[in-house]
Structure 1
């Protein structure tokens, strides 16, 4: 099929136009980077990590159900060549990513995508993400029916509604054609598995699953819904999620936490209430669903021919490889779908031409024909992702190189390996029979890239289970471990690849763990310095450059290690009256939270210097602790005899850092007050309490203003947090209430009034005060 089938909703075209206006403001300096981020991420545009002179961006293009035409495929390749890094990356959600895009050219990219029936809208942020479908839908002999039309129609329906882009967190949906669950319906927020009942097409419905933080397998919500009811189901779940999802704690915001909070029975009860409400609105004409028949008529029936999986290394193909592949599609009259394993599925292969096709494919890129054992699924990791800890693609390449050195018969006994560069599951390590989850550990006083080994996942209707964590392995040991594991499996009696999980259950798990433990030894840095580097890197492993994001689990583990070390050293110092241990307690404590401020160092003097700058100067730790740090340095230099007399100060420092650590949210921000913060005594609303100025004259002015109106002091609060706090302050107040806000000059006073006006609040006064800040007087809007 050469022409686009998916219909881009008009709202997406409108939102693309709004983005272009926001981009223009940002480039002109009239919109802050933080506020612009709030516009670009829901458009599927992410900042990239890397050694660039100027910041680069990734554009994640939605490919609903993996359904892609040759014309669209060619355009994506051309965009990567003309605007990006010259390659396409296929994701585990059937999207296609363009990397290293200049932000000032992003609008052109979006316009060209729209003309081809493509868009990245909703590729990021708290939105309905790309809806997945079994890649073999329509050609799978085990499939109950082709679910492609259903996937495309539901995508169109949800994307047309702007409420789909302002949810508590991401909302992921998937379709599968059979019990094999190739579309991963049982591990998504909402999953549909094709079913037939009395000759009627419909679906079994699964809900509230997901990987990442505290993963959960979806539970069966409904035994059967008719095929035209998928819209009402998805809309009901969306409304339930919108109402009950936790918008304050992003670590608990996904739909599976709503299920955990209420229990499955209550969750289902709430769903059914919304479900009936949505169906009633549809019957009365208040709600209109997409025409499912439109897509049924457009989707061609699959040919009675073979399929062929393509496994490009790390999910990447460069421009010329894509063009050569498109020529093969035309030559052999094939269609293709993107898969959820970072690859492509060629459909309509004539068995008599299979060998010739494989020869042509090998000439394009040999890795396309890699077996599952050689083609690990690996997220982008620290190579481009700001959340990544480890360089997962480089590990995948090292595994491939090592496995190629042993006999094919042996290496093909290994199942496909899934690798994530951090605890987020972009590499889907939770569903790998063998999976690796990136992390960092401190050994011999230095950080080392590590991975947790996971074993035993399975995905199938009513029998899905996630892999279980076993041993932590240093990154540099993993390829050798897998080579020996392949040898071990080859020697096992009655073993076959299809029976890998059976092997685990009959003693194999313990045998693999025992084997893995052989590979946990850490050499001294002086003997093997490159062991302390990640794969493909020439520098010692570090987390410097990693930015705050949705999940800080990997970083938090490092903080936890340092705090535990500080506590242990303190207890040892007290028990043994050992000042050396107390000194180590001070250094470990001071170092612990530096990593969340982007500082990673082993040098004591630098630790103390940066701690003063990042924590004492910014009032997160009491100013009195500066003297403690100076005395610690004096002790190290021999200018002070002991530290035992400072034990209570040391303990107090550790406890304060524990409190700060425990207050971190998923964006690595502290959520407790600074040591100099004083609650506004005149404000009894808990949502409105905030820091007040140290300047007594300003406090007097605030008190005078509060005689007439409520006051919210937002001085020192950066964009866009100041707007969020203003919005939360207004939320519980009655319509027509007048509130004064104090804001700093510059971006705060430029952005906040505009944002409040967009929420229909009335700006009554905007005045610069003698002290330099601004008074913004706002009248709360009437309820909609």
Structure 2
């Protein structure tokens, strides 16, 4: 988009990002930037390729799912202007817009930033959206509000040099209580709020800290790093952990590049030893979390002073007097979609949204309802719904009537009937089969045959279009992921059935077992069979996961085996949900999981960009960030030269060692005595790179380290130039990329 309009309200950092995206799109369209390099760049700006060629999915990063009414309207308006008029809520509390033209993405971003909404680091090898319990701040079970800590994690690591070029994505979740409603156990870092006692004997805020969880084809439950870590120590710990992940994490074998595999290789004790080694170099040794996060806490405490609670009988009588004819449905909604907050006399209203999709017109009407009846603090939930906060008891009836007119008053929020699902083959490159179609079919089964499931909060059902787990199927009591089955020369769409994941009756999170694969059109029969068996044979009060563990995986395999019988296939079994044509697998290249090939010239350019960022942070006096950007100059430059010798190294430590073996004798520099390493056997490049965590991030060390990074990048350019001297055309082409503009 040539006439890019950016308002004065947009921060200078965001403005530069938007202009940079626009410039990179132009360079890509003109052929100046290779596709692989451009893909890597745009992903970290929330621009993600769809299954359909020529259009993008835009992922809007909403930390802990919080948006205001005005922001919801801005997203709706943006969807109308640039996308399809649909807002898709995700399991990471983001909102996604689909079918956006690449050329429109900078202006779309600028329009959102005008309302305080970012796309930065929503995709790519970065810290993804930081999720949290959607009930944080109003949860009757919480020891304290985790919103300030969550928001601080988001702001601290946004544009942080540590997570700009990691080997893989990194996910953080914060739960408000031991119920773990944010699913801490499946995250790279999971935090669960609790109170503890510090060294002075004072009661303080803190967290149980879990690390190394993850889903996908090889799911892992997170391990406990700390039973209690004081709140002020949480961000420094995460920073140190990220430094370890960045330096030691896999980078070549993408399927092995997540934190869970590094933890598995190092072991918990080894990982924590490496984390301790990084504490010297982190920016802050402690980080106090501000209480008055939005500058409104005092006003909030006055506005939301305790009120008289209302009884169910009072609300039902009020409903009858105000013309609600279907009192049975209203009662179900009242019982399943509302609760009294920890603030006495105030109520939360939860919106169950089928497939997570909401039209822009509905979103604007919802914003009006929020302005009239609720606090200006909407939260997108991890089960793809929304929650409204601080509703008065006497307003439950009128807000229901208005929500009902919008189709947003379906009872059964976060119940068994409220299925979580990813978009599947509707838009995703990686999806194997339809997620939306089977979700509708399963919800119809429950509505028609098991209506009591709107009251069941024990059994969660989650669906993904493939094994990668965007729908979090591994972390559900009953999970399904898209697959296929070959039958002779034909292929039919299938569902992998997983059981026993999610939470047990005692609050422990588990990864589900793969039990059996069934034709996707038989998914409803599989669910019907599971429910009927559970109802017939479970003990009184026995949770589903307890029943599953008692009966064992083989019991359920035998139970579902007749449904998987391919000798009884019908013609319809070869067609996916929502499709008339015969099924065939059409899996594209998934952009979060694909291999990114960095060409030498563009790699040198990246090194120069990182050096510029290092110098900017140095000028601002942010020594730790300046040093880390400069460290990335070393890694990027070394990687570029290693590519010229076809050396493909899978970790930063490997890059450092391989560079030393191939080029180390050529790179020389002077080291001041105060920055010499104790190990005199270290060679120059290794010594420089490994000093990153040996010294405090002072101005003096930053000055030294940036000077050497600048010197190293010049060495890289000179070395590459010498390699290409026999081909003057390539010399001009490549070296022009690496010069200062």
Which stretch has the larger CA shift, 161-170 or 66-75?
161-170
Whether 2:449 is the aligned partner of 1:447: answer no
Correspondences of 1:141-156 after superposition (within 5 Å): 141-156=140-155
- Alignment counterpart, residue 520 of structure 2, candidates 475, 486, 493: 475
Q: Which has the larger radius of gyration?
A: 1
Whether 2:401 is the aligned partner of 1:359: answer yes
User: Corresponding residue for 1:747?
Assistant: none
What whole-Å deviation, never above 9, does each CA across 1:469-510 have from its counterpart, x for those lacking one? Answer: 1111110100122234334444346455x7212222333765
User: Corresponding residue for 1:157?
Assistant: 156
Whether 2:581 is the aligned partner of 1:539: answer yes
Whole-angstrom distance in 1 between the partners of 2:79 and 2:737: 47
SS in 1 for 2:389: strand
Whether 2:465 is the aligned partner of 1:421: answer yes
What whole-Å deviation, never above 9, does each CA across 1:540-573 have from its counterpart, x for those lacking one? Answer: 111235235555xxxxxxxxxxxxxxxxxxxxxx
CA contact (8 A) 1:9 1:159 kept: no
How far has the Cα of 1:265 moved from its partner? 1.2
How far has the Cα of 1:184 moved from its partner? 1.7
SS in 2 for 1:292: coil
Whole-angstrom distance in 1 between the partners of 2:291 and 2:347: 27
Whether 2:512 is the aligned partner of 1:463: answer no
Whole-angstrom distance in 2 between the partners of 1:47 and 1:238: 27
CA contact (8 A) 1:72 1:116 kept: yes
- Alignment counterpart, residue 479 of structure 2, candidates 414, 435, 441: 435
- Alignment counterpart, residue 406 of structure 1, candidates 449, 470, 473: 449
Which stretch has the larger CA shift, 453-462 or 394-403?
453-462
User: Corresponding residue for 2:38?
Assistant: 36
What whole-Å deviation, never above 9, does each CA across 1:15-58 have from its counterpart, x for those lacking one? Answer: 333212111222333323332212111111101113xxx61101
Correspondences of 1:222-621 after superposition (within 5 Å): 222-278=226-282, 281-282=283-284, 292-293=290-291, 295=293, 297-298=295-296, 300=300, 303-304=343-344, 305-334=346-375, 335-365=377-407, 368-371=410-413, 372-409=415-452, 415-459=459-503, 463-492=508-537, 494-495=539-540, 499-507=543-551, 512-522=556-566, 528-544=570-586, 546-551=588-593
Whole-angstrom distance in 2 between the partners of 1:165 and 1:770: 34
User: Corresponding residue for 2:118?
Assistant: 119
- Alignment counterpart, residue 210 of structure 2, candidates 200, 206, 211: 206
Whole-angstrom distance in 1 between the partners of 2:412 and 2:559: 26
Whole-angstrom distance in 2 between the partners of 1:395 and 1:239: 42
Whole-angstrom distance in 2 between the partners of 1:516 and 1:771: 67
Whole-angstrom distance in 1 between the partners of 2:464 and 2:57: 18
SS in 1 for 2:191: strand
CA contact (8 A) 1:431 1:458 kept: yes
- Alignment counterpart, residue 19 of structure 2, candidates 17, 20, 37: 17
CA contact (8 A) 1:766 1:776 kept: no
CA contact (8 A) 2:48 2:591 kept: no
> CA RMSD of the aligned region, Å?
3.6
CA contact (8 A) 1:12 1:159 kept: no
**Measured at CA, do residues 8 and 222 of structure 1 come closer, stay the same or move farther in structure 2, by a change above 3 Å?**
farther
**Measured at CA, do residues 765 and 262 of structure 1 come closer, stay the same or move farther in structure 2, by a change above 3 Å?**
closer
CA contact (8 A) 1:761 1:780 kept: no
User: Corresponding residue for 1:591?
Assistant: none
What whole-Å deviation, never above 9, does each CA across 1:659-713 have from its counterpart, x for those lacking one? Answer: xxxxxxx6599xxxxxxxxxxxxxxxxxxxxxxxxxxxxxxxxxxxxxxxx9987
Q: Provide the TM-score with structure 2 as the length reference.
A: 0.72
Whole-angstrom distance in 2 between the partners of 1:31 and 1:729: 26
How far has the Cα of 1:511 moved from its partner? 5.2
CA contact (8 A) 1:765 1:777 kept: no
Whole-angstrom distance in 2 between the partners of 1:105 and 1:540: 35
How far has the Cα of 1:96 moved from its partner? 0.8
**Measured at CA, do residues 329 and 780 of structure 1 come closer, stay the same or move farther in structure 2, by a change above 3 Å?**
closer
CA contact (8 A) 1:451 1:472 kept: yes
Correspondences of 1:670-749 after superposition (within 5 Å): 732-734=662-664
Whole-angstrom distance in 2 between the partners of 1:276 and 1:204: 23
Unaligned segments of structure 2, at least 5 residues: 1-8, 198-202, 305-342, 598-640, 648-654, 669-711
**Measured at CA, do residues 23 and 215 of structure 1 come closer, stay the same or move farther in structure 2, by a change above 3 Å?**
same
**Measured at CA, do residues 29 and 290 of structure 1 come closer, stay the same or move farther in structure 2, by a change above 3 Å?**
farther
Whole-angstrom distance in 1 between the partners of 2:540 and 2:145: 35
Whole-angstrom distance in 2 between the partners of 1:81 and 1:761: 47
Which stretch has the larger CA shift, 354-363 or 210-219?
354-363
CA contact (8 A) 2:162 2:243 kept: no
SS in 1 for 2:425: helix
Which stretch has the larger CA shift, 325-334 or 335-344?
325-334
Whole-angstrom distance in 1 between the partners of 2:75 and 2:398: 27
Whole-angstrom distance in 2 between the partners of 1:224 and 1:248: 35
Whole-angstrom distance in 1 between the partners of 2:39 and 2:166: 17
**Measured at CA, do residues 759 and 768 of structure 1 come closer, stay the same or move farther in structure 2, by a change above 3 Å?**
closer
CA contact (8 A) 1:373 1:417 kept: yes
CA contact (8 A) 1:88 1:318 kept: yes
How far has the Cα of 1:200 moved from its partner? 1.0
Whole-angstrom distance in 1 between the partners of 2:724 and 2:54: 36
CA contact (8 A) 2:93 2:131 kept: yes
SS in 1 for 2:502: coil
**Measured at CA, do residues 370 and 227 of structure 1 come closer, stay the same or move farther in structure 2, by a change above 3 Å?**
same
CA contact (8 A) 1:144 1:195 kept: yes
SS in 2 for 1:453: strand
How far has the Cα of 1:760 moved from its partner? 6.2
SS in 2 for 1:375: coil
Whole-angstrom distance in 2 between the partners of 1:31 and 1:540: 39
SS in 2 for 1:541: coil
User: Corresponding residue for 2:696?
Assistant: none
**Measured at CA, do residues 521 and 356 of structure 1 come closer, stay the same or move farther in structure 2, by a change above 3 Å?**
farther
Whether 2:49 is the aligned partner of 1:47: answer yes
**Measured at CA, do residues 338 and 731 of structure 1 come closer, stay the same or move farther in structure 2, by a change above 3 Å?**
farther
User: Corresponding residue for 2:129?
Assistant: 130
Which stretch has the larger CA shift, 505-514 or 353-362?
505-514
What whole-Å deviation, never above 9, does each CA across 1:198-218 have from its counterpart, x for those lacking one? Answer: 321122211111111322111
How far has the Cα of 1:378 moved from its partner? 0.8
Whole-angstrom distance in 2 between the partners of 1:72 and 1:66: 12
**Measured at CA, do residues 729 and 56 of structure 1 come closer, stay the same or move farther in structure 2, by a change above 3 Å?**
farther
SS in 1 for 2:226: strand
Q: Which has the higher contact order (CA 8 A, sep 6+)?
A: 2
Q: Provide the TM-score with structure 1 as the length reference.
A: 0.68
SS in 2 for 1:258: helix
What whole-Å deviation, never above 9, does each CA across 1:166-220 have from its counterpart, x for those lacking one? Answer: 1111111111111111122222111221121232112221111111132211111
How far has the Cα of 1:10 moved from its partner? 5.2
CA contact (8 A) 1:147 1:194 kept: yes
SS in 2 for 1:423: coil
